[in-house]
Amino acid sequence: MSLLSNSFLRVLLPALPALLCASVFSQTQTIRPKVVVVSYFEVGRDTGDRPGELQFWVERDHLSRSIDVPGMSRPVRANAAGTEIAVAVGPGNINPAVNLMALGADPRFDLRQSHWLLNGIAGISPADGTIGDAVWTDFVINGDLAKEIDPREKPADWTDGFLSLDGVKPSDPKGGDHWEDDVRQWKGTDAHANRRGNVIRLNLDLMRWAFNLTRNMQLQEYAQMRALREKYKGFAGTASGPRVQTGANLATEIFWHGKLMDAWAHRWVAYETDGVAHLGTTAMNDTGSLLALHALTLQGKADWNRVLLLRTASNFDMPPPGMTAAENLEHERHGGYTAYFPSLEAAYTVGHRIVAEWLR
């Protein structure tokens, strides 16, 4: 073999995987889903075992195709026609962003005209709702992007240890007049994010459309759920059974719990949105997902004005009277929440009402 041939092979062989991959891509029909369903965790397999947030979508919508995407934690599930795909991209806020950017970068998927349903289970305050509720989200607030002092060291006149990155005490404003993240100054109803990306508004017109289509749907409340709800006497959100409503989502990497943290969550949502939004649910994923979709929109690969976020309440974010936060966590373990299965059912039932409209 000539020296030229050896040199050619040394250049060609390392590049073969990429060339073969490109060849496969070129021979694969582009998938242009009408709907992308985004969930955040699955317990085991995608079908046939104890369900997480993805499984009902895969089984009930016949998403029988499994497509591996480089950079994604789990395969993409798709129906035969490619009109609907579903992914599980969590946990946390970082994993969803990485996964969705990987999906958007895969040339086999054209997502420019896709509608997106982000959905998952969540915590809820008894002041705002009850377990089994389905909440369409208007704002998402990243509760991690802040300063924090351990509450054991905070000044006595502080309600909690959290304060803005711009401040030195909780009462300090976030910035000067007309600073971009003053939500009261935001125009229109389109999706929007502040410069830091810690306050995100979804498309309000789309959210209201979804709420109006689903607001009268009947949601499950089993005897065990009702018994727990009735322990929260005097809280406005637990006066009746589950319903469809709207509210903001507070996203943190930490699974927090307790009445003091509940008070912080209400304060923080109001503070970061300048009083525009009110706490609806607590979770840990959605700022990452939405910022990824914003980035894909700027790249011309998606449209984040076609995004809805539905959170369904599996557990309360604080204990009932007479129980400590630690005791309550013993009773409400991950995957074993009182409303775990009803919240998964609500996410699919309410969410699919919208998906069906998009698939027409």
CA–CA separation, 55 vs 44, rounded Å?
9
Radius of gyration of the chain (CA): 22
212-271, pLDDT tens digit by residue?
999 999 999 999 999 999 999 999 999 999 999 999 999 999 999 999 999 999 999 999
Whether 18 has a pLDDT exceeding 80, the answer reads no
Query: What local confidence, expressed as pLDDT, does residue 173 receive?
Result: 82
Which DSSP string do the residues of 74-138 spell out, in sequence order? SPEEE-TTSSEEEEE--STTHHHHHHHHHHHH-TTB--TT-EEEEEEEEEE-TTT--TT-EEEEE
The structure's pTM equals: 0.90
The hierarchical CATH code for the domain 30-358 is 3.40.50.1580
Taking the domains of the chain in order of start, what are their residue ranges? 30-358
Residue 180 backbone class (left: φ over 0; alpha: ψ -120 to 50; beta: rest): alpha
Please give the residue that has the higher pLDDT: either 1 or 163. 163
Query: What local confidence, expressed as pLDDT, does residue 205 receive?
Result: 98
144-201, pLDDT tens digit by residue?
999 999 999 999 999 999 998 888 999 888 776 556 678 998 999 999 999 889 999 9
pLDDT (average), residues 89-109: 96
